[in-house]
Amino acid sequence: MVLEKIINVADIEKKPIKSLYYAVLITLVSILLGYRVFESSPGFAALSFIVIGSLPFVRKLIEIEEIKEASASNWKIALTRNKPVIEILFFFFLGVSLTYFLISILLPNFGEILFAEQTKVFSGTISHSLESSSFLPIIKNNLSIVMLAILLSLLYGSGSIFVISWNASVLGTFLAAKGMPQLLYYLPHASLEFFGFFMAAIAGSIISEAIEKHDYSGNHFRNILKDALLLTVLSAILIVIAAYVEVTVL
């Protein structure tokens, strides 16, 4: 794959912000392909191409991360070690979201056709999450996304990239429709939520990678489970904090 050869995972680990550039590149290519190849449903087609193009990159990233799990000795070290991959996925999310946002702003007619599926959810899940003022419904909605990210990651290895890419595309389209002032309004709690999603995605992915290698015994697998449990718990905590910020602070 040409896109796979362009990106250097080891280099991105040193400079996570490069993941943003990669995300912009693959999103632009995917949107163009989706629009030209599947005119009847370009939105989902573009998202599918983003996921397909990202899988080799994400799989390699998680594989490198999973190998490091063997040296885990405590939860603090595990969390510190997982920080780079969280940053990389964050910048990847930011790149996808930024691309959708700019296209929606700069080419509104084109975006209206291409991002119809993203726009539909404004009155559904995302709208409920971003605009609801009720604490429990917000937590319920976001925890369901966390569970989905873990489940997809566990079953499909890097399946969580679908959740990350979909939410990024919806957020970018949503902010373009609402306008720039809303960005500062949503940024505090949205940042906490998405960091929670990332950690849940990583938790499922590293377990899936270990299971795929049939590594079920010894300290290696126990350390992986410990890392995954830590990330899952922190994910849930961040979701609760984000809901509190959204309801009481904003």
The CB density around residue 163, as the number of other CB atoms within 10 Å, is 22
SS3 label, residue 39: coil
Question: Given this model, what pLDDT does residue 217 score?
Answer: 63
Predicted pLDDT of residue 123: 46
What's the pLDDT at 125? 47
pLDDT at 194: 77
How far apart (Å, rounded) are the C-alpha atoms in residues 42 and 116?
9
List the chain residues with pLDDT less than 70: 1-8, 10, 62-82, 120-133, 157-159, 180-183, 209, 212-220, 249-250
For residue 133, what are the CA distances in angstroms to 129, 144, 167, 249, 250? Answer: 9, 18, 20, 11, 10
| Residue 87: per-residue pLDDT | 81
How would you class 155 by CB atoms within 10 Å of its CB: exposed for 0-12, middle for 13-18, buried for 19 or more?
Answer: exposed
Asked whether the beta carbons of 89 and 164 are under 8 A apart, the reply is yes
Q: What is the pTM of this model?
A: 0.79
